[in-house]
Structure 1
Amino acid sequence: MNQTPSADTGFQIWWQLMRPHTLTAAFVPVFLGTALALEHTKLHVLLFLAMMIASLLIQAATNMFNEYFDYKRGLDTEESIGIGGAIVRNGVKPKTVLNMAFAFFGIALLLGLYICSITTWWIALIGLICMAVGYFYTGGPLPIAYTPFGELASGFFMGGIIIYISFYIQTGFVTNGAILFSIPVIILIGAIMLSNNIRDRVGDQEAGRKTIAILIGHDPAVTLLATMFIVSYLWVIILVLGVYGSLWLFLTYLSIPKAIQAVNGFKGKNNPLEMMPAMKSTAQTNTLYGFLLSIGLCLTYIF
């Protein structure tokens, strides 16, 4: 394939390759899991920073694997929407992208060793499983992204598991409350993947993928996305009534306009470029929701 380098600088190329709008899927769970732990213990800053950086690196590496394997399968072109474009638009060698992804994994492993040395070595096993999911999301003979389980896998491993680990390394245990608080984050991270699959539905179908968006169609997939948002906001009521009883948690409702913007942005749209703002709004909803939920928790502890 003829690769014509763009005018992007080196930093811009690698920043775009990491797909920064998706990094919220790594930031929010660590932040929330740590905020939940503050009810039981004082903050261990170095553990928090190690966990945050490792999670961001794993998410960025997963995006690079996605870029590499989609290119190898002939799915990405210069006209592809929503990709980093390092290979097809910027002339970066595919092997370089792959090696960078493994380098990020390597740094994450080193940070994981530090975390395990202070907490428990069982974290290493869980971390390796999460990394394997990141690799096999688009790698291997049957990538997870090609099945209807992409949203579930990404939500559970990048949402739930990261929250539990972030909580555990601060406290040494996991509570039912942490599990309950993880549910809306699992849903919203899954929503990010669903929004991506709605946008890419036509191209993915031509490539032989069987995502939820492909199986049920555009309009039902948008309805499903709206339902995921609704459940996430209704879940706050469960948290208030059943866990903390704090009205501060309703701060999350300040993010509702962004969720509405995301759903409306997909309605009646067919062109992937037209749906990019809606996908961005979905990721922003996750960021705002998780951040506001964490702030609500902290205010609960104070007041």
Structure 2
Amino acid sequence: MSRPAADVSKRKAWVMAARPHTLPAGTAPVIVGVGVAVHDGVFALFPTLAALVGALLIQIGTNFANDYFDAVKGADTDEREGFTRVTASGLIEPDEVKRAIIVTYGLAIGVGLYLVAIGGVPILFVGLSGIAAGILYTGGPYPYGYYGLGDLFVFVYFGVFAVVGTYYVQAASTMADLFPLWVPSGTVSLAVVVASLPAATLSTAILNVNNIRDIETDRKAGKRTLAVILGDRLSRLEYVFMIGTAYVVPVVFAFDSDFGLPALLPLLTLPLAVSVTLTVLTESGGDVLDPALERTGQVMVAHAVLFAVGLALPQVI
């Protein structure tokens, strides 16, 4: 493991378990959802804040769950590179991490009750299935993250569902009826689905870097991530595809007269994206790929902010 337990305080260990470098995957989609909502005139503050808090709690709960289940299943060994796992390294007892999973997801459900009242059955489904997917990623009898399906989970839940869901609860809050049984007309548009793709691909790219770094140790532990299945070369090409898609989507919006040239603002982050992509394509080892993972998160947040601004600008100027 990358850091001796004696060198880390309990408070710092909990911060490490939450994995702050992954939180852009929870924050950026909400930002994009707000940008589309402002453009469409359905922005609502309180549903947005609740969506943000809920998304971050689910992200942190999933991080705790991954840390715990990877340790108890033996996937985290002393050979593993990268950020320290607190359960496997003995920094925090497994029972404490398990309780943290329950508390974090419980808080997410508490916040989600407000969103469910607004969004009804669709949000109930997305919220509960998201929590279940976070646990079953590395837990349960068939942890799908060990069978190459983790990338799909991240793409759907930390991309498409997160952006569209953020937009949906704002649009639904403008309607009189509480707890709709299905998606009311006018609360989801094709534009917001397409706008979710950069968040989906960039969040998947974050996971991709993590899994490229761990290919050898995951293979030995019997953890067949998509990176293990594809191999080193194709996994790095997957990263290129995910990053590239994030920059094609703003161009598509720029050709739409409802959005126009402001939608190209995310292209300002292209130099950073190219720099980190070259690192992922040419380097190996946790000492290089860990910073690349963090920089991918920075690209995701910067891209999301600029994309949201670009989408909203035609409405506010």
TM-score by length of 2: 0.88
Superposed, 1:182-197 pairs within 5 Å as: 182-197=196-211
RMSD: 2.0
2:156 alignment counterpart: 156
1:187 and 1:232 in contact (8 A); partners too: yes
Residue 84 of structure 1: how far off its partner (Å) = 4.5
* CA-to-aligned-CA distance 1:39-96 (integer Å, 9 cap, x gap): 3335322221111111100000100000001110122245633344322345311111
Superposed, 1:226-265 pairs within 5 Å as: 226-242=240-256, 244-265=258-279
1:261 and 1:278 in contact (8 A); partners too: no
* CA-to-aligned-CA distance 1:78-123 (integer Å, 9 cap, x gap): 5633344322345311111111011010001011111222342431
Question: Distance in 2 between the 1:91 and 1:190 partners?
Answer: 28
2:136 alignment counterpart: 136
1:302 alignment counterpart: 316
1:77 and 1:88 in contact (8 A); partners too: yes
2:82 alignment counterpart: 82
Q: Which consecutive unaligned segments of at least 5 residues does structure 1 have?
A: none
Q: What code does the residue aligned with 1:160 have? A: V
The count of residues paired between Structure 1 and Structure 2 equals: 301
1:249 and 1:297 in contact (8 A); partners too: yes
Superposed, 1:58-77 pairs within 5 Å as: 58-77=58-77
1:17 and 1:83 in contact (8 A); partners too: no
Question: Distance in 1 between the 2:83 and 2:103 partners?
Answer: 20
Moved more, 41-50 or 254-263: 41-50
1:255 and 1:285 in contact (8 A); partners too: yes
1:284 alignment counterpart: 298
1:180 alignment counterpart: 194
1:40 and 1:171 in contact (8 A); partners too: no
* CA-to-aligned-CA distance 1:18-52 (integer Å, 9 cap, x gap): 11111111101111112211233353222211111
Residues 1:50 and 2:50 are matched in the alignment: yes
Residues 1:272 and 2:260 are matched in the alignment: no
Q: Which one has more relative contact order, counting CA pairs under 8 Å at least 6 apart?
A: 2
Q: Which consecutive unaligned segments of at least 5 residues does structure 2 have?
A: 173-186
2:104 alignment counterpart: 104
Q: What code does the residue aligned with 1:237 have? A: V
2:39 and 2:313 in contact (8 A); partners too: no
1:18 alignment counterpart: 18
2:182 alignment counterpart: none
1:288 to 1:48, Cα distance in 2 relative to 1, 3 A = same
Residue 158 of structure 1: how far off its partner (Å) = 1.4
TM-score by length of 1: 0.92
2:39 and 2:314 in contact (8 A); partners too: no
Question: Distance in 1 between the 2:131 and 2:88 partners?
Answer: 25
